[in-house]
């Protein structure tokens, strides 16, 4: 039935167009062909100008309207250090191409209007003009040089790796000037396997040949660096720390994408890639920024107007930005940026979740079966201390109590007091 109706509509449209054509032809004969053509030219030229104005005003209006939803142009901003450089390079390109865009659009429609066909006006025959050639070669060459040189500088800064003198950290210690935290992200169909190096800050060796159902990354457990490595459900990182992500893939191409941090890198099977970045805002701070804008104060779920606001429900996210298969869309993980203190507390609570301790320790194939491990001792001491505290006749809670001596809590440096 629907097909019949559609067919009927098409037939009727064809009839209408044929009739319009006949009428135009008749009108042309009545008024004379030339007059009709001139009318049509005038009408088209004026409509072109009108279209140009609507189009340019619409472009500007839509940019202003969507600014609060676009990263980097309003309250919805980037949250990493290197993003500033990329954003500047991008805006510089947008500035120059924007000028060219507006000028060429105006010239295009203005010329179509001004030089439309008119009786008795021949067109100018211009074969060559040296001055014009020089102008439209020199200006783009100059502008492109600025963009390319500036872009290369930003590229080199963004893609810089950590150096051999830099110190890998597990817990965040602000006193280590060239410290960095390295985490690993392995893409697979369809998930991100995230690995934290544990307290030692060192990611253990792995080999794809060792991948089994119980060892999804193929970790080599004979490597002591693997003992404290932790598998994560969400990425937790401290604000202000240099973070290096080691990016790999287990099967096909994936892409490690942290849109709010301008971090985006292919995950290639057999070829580790990396990205180094420094988060500049905690999730909490970012939410507070968003809360100042009206569009982020609307309900997160339109069906539930009493529920959390959009800014309250905001989370940074890790996505896969490579179309990697059927379940591509489900490769989403939450990224939490916290204060260094919160991060160190979080890591202390994660230590007992070491993948090796939970999945390999004491089982067949455990390379350290008859050995004592410092991590086990550390966790046992911590537990004993907590139990002793619980059994003791409740002493007054001491503020800033450091029951686990392993935790490095960065202390504010008195020499770097920022003036208000």
185 near Cu ion, rule: CB under 5 A:
no
**Closest distance to Cu ion from the beta carbon of 181 (Å):** 24
Distance CA 216, CA 294 (A): 45
| Nearer to Cu ion (CB atom), residue 332 or residue 389 | 332
| Nearer to Cu ion (CB atom), residue 193 or residue 409 | 193
Q: Where does 93-229 show beta strands of DSSP type E?
A: 167-169, 179-188, 191-196
| Nearer to Cu ion (CB atom), residue 276 or residue 331 | 331
Contact in structure between 315 and 283 (CB atoms under 8 Å): yes
Q: Tokens 């007059």 correspond to what residue?
A: 35
**Closest distance to Cu ion from the beta carbon of 192 (Å):** 8
Pairing of strands 333-338, 235-238: parallel
86 near Cu ion, rule: CB under 5 A:
no
| Nearer to Cu ion (CB atom), residue 232 or residue 253 | 253
Binding span for Cu ion by CB under 5 A among 110-118, 128-136, 288-296, 330-338: 330-338
Contact in structure between 375 and 227 (CB atoms under 8 Å): yes
Interface characters, 196-235, with Cu ion (x: CB under 5 A): ----------------------------------------
CA dihedral 384, 390, 396, 397 (to 10 degrees): 60
**Closest distance to Cu ion from the beta carbon of 328 (Å):** 5
The residues with which 268 forms a beta bridge, in sequence order, are 271
| Nearer to Cu ion (CB atom), residue 9 or residue 323 | 323
| Nearer to Cu ion (CB atom), residue 169 or residue 217 | 217
Binding span for Cu ion by CB under 5 A among 3-11, 41-49, 112-120, 320-328: 320-328
Contacts of 273 (CB under 8 A, 6+ apart): 247, 248, 265, 266, 267
Q: Which residue in the set 89, 320, 335, 360 belongs to the binding site for Cu ion (CB under 5 A)? A: 320
**Closest distance to Cu ion from the beta carbon of 186 (Å):** 11
Number of residues that bind Cu ion (CB under 5 A): 4
Report the 10 Å Cβ neighbour count for 193. 15
**Closest distance to Cu ion from the beta carbon of 298 (Å):** 31
Distance CA 396, CA 343 (A): 26
**Closest distance to Cu ion from the beta carbon of 331 (Å):** 5
Distance CA 183, CA 238 (A): 12
Contact in structure between 212 and 246 (CB atoms under 8 Å): no
Report the 10 Å Cβ neighbour count for 262. 23
366 Rama class: left (phi>0) / alpha (psi -120 to 50) / beta: beta
In this structure, what token pair is assigned to residue 356? 């090796």
φ/ψ (deg, to 5) at 382: -60, -45
254 near Cu ion, rule: CB under 5 A:
yes
**Closest distance to Cu ion from the beta carbon of 321 (Å):** 8
**Closest distance to Cu ion from the beta carbon of 127 (Å):** 55
324 near Cu ion, rule: CB under 5 A:
yes
| Nearer to Cu ion (CB atom), residue 244 or residue 333 | 333
Closest CA to 243 of 307, 318, 348: 318
**Closest distance to Cu ion from the beta carbon of 264 (Å):** 13
Binding span for Cu ion by CB under 5 A among 10-18, 73-81, 225-233, 331-339: 331-339
Q: Which residue in the set 235, 262, 276, 331 belongs to the binding site for Cu ion (CB under 5 A)? A: 331
Mapped onto helix, strand or coil, the DSSP state of residue 267 is: strand
| Nearer to Cu ion (CB atom), residue 248 or residue 280 | 248
| Nearer to Cu ion (CB atom), residue 194 or residue 324 | 324
Distance CA 275, CA 328 (A): 21
Binding span for Cu ion by CB under 5 A among 143-151, 166-174, 314-322, 407-415: 314-322
**Closest distance to Cu ion from the beta carbon of 335 (Å):** 16
Distance set, CA 90 to CA 43, 146, 246, 314 (Å): 40, 12, 26, 26
Footprint of Cu ion (CB under 5 A): 254, 320, 324, 331
């Amino acid at each position: 039935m629907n097909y019949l109706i559609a067919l009927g509509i098409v037939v009727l449209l064809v009839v209408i167009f044929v009739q319009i054509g006949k009428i135009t032809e008749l009108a042309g004969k009545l008024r004379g062909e030339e007059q009709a053509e001139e009318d049509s030219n005038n009408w088209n030229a004026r409509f072109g100008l009108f279209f140009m104005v609507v189009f340019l005003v619409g472009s500007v209006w839509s940019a202003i309207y969507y600014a609060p939803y676009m990263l980097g142009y309003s309250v919805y901003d980037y949250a990493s250090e290197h993003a500033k450089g990329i954003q500047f390079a991008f805006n510089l390109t947008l500035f120059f191409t924007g000028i060219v865009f507006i000028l060429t659009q105006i010239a295009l429609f203005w010329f179509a209007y001004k030089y439309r066909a008119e009786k008795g006006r021949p067109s100018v025959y211009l074969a060559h003009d040296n001055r014009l050639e020089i102008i439209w070669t020199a200006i783009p060459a100059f502008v492109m040089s600025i963009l390319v040189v500036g872009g290369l500088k930003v590229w080199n800064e963004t893609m810089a790796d950590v150096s051999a003198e830099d110190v890998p950290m597990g817990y965040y210690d602000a006193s280590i000037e060239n410290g960095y935290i390295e985490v690993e992200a392995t893409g697979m169909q369809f998930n991100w396997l995230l690995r934290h190096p544990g307290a030692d800050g060192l990611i253990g060796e792995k080999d794809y040949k060792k991948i089994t159902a119980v060892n999804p990354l193929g970790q080599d457990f004979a490597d002591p660096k693997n003992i404290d490595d932790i598998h994560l459900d969400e990425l937790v990182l401290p604000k202000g720390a240099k973070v290096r992500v080691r990016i790999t893939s287990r099967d096909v191409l994936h892409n490690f994408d942290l849109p709010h941090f301008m971090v985006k890198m292919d995950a290639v099977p057999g070829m580790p890639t990396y990205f180094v970045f420094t988060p500049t805002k905690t999730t909490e701070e970012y939410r507070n920024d968003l809360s100042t804008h009206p569009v982020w104060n609307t309900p997160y779920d339109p069906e539930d107007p009493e529920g959390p606001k959009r800014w309250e429900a905001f989370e940074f996210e890790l996505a896969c930005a490579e179309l990697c298969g059927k379940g591509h869309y489900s490769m989403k993980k939450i990224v939490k940026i916290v204060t260094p203190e919160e991060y160190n507390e979080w890591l202390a609570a994660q230590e007992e979740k070491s993948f090796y301790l939970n999945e390999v320790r004491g089982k067949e194939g455990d390379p350290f079966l008859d050995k004592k491990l410092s991590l086990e001792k550390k966790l046992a001491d911590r537990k004993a201390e907590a139990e002793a505290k619980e059994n003791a006749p409740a002493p007054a809670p001491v503020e800033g109590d450091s029951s686990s001596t392993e935790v490095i809590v960065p202390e504010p440096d008195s020499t770097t007091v920022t003036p208000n």
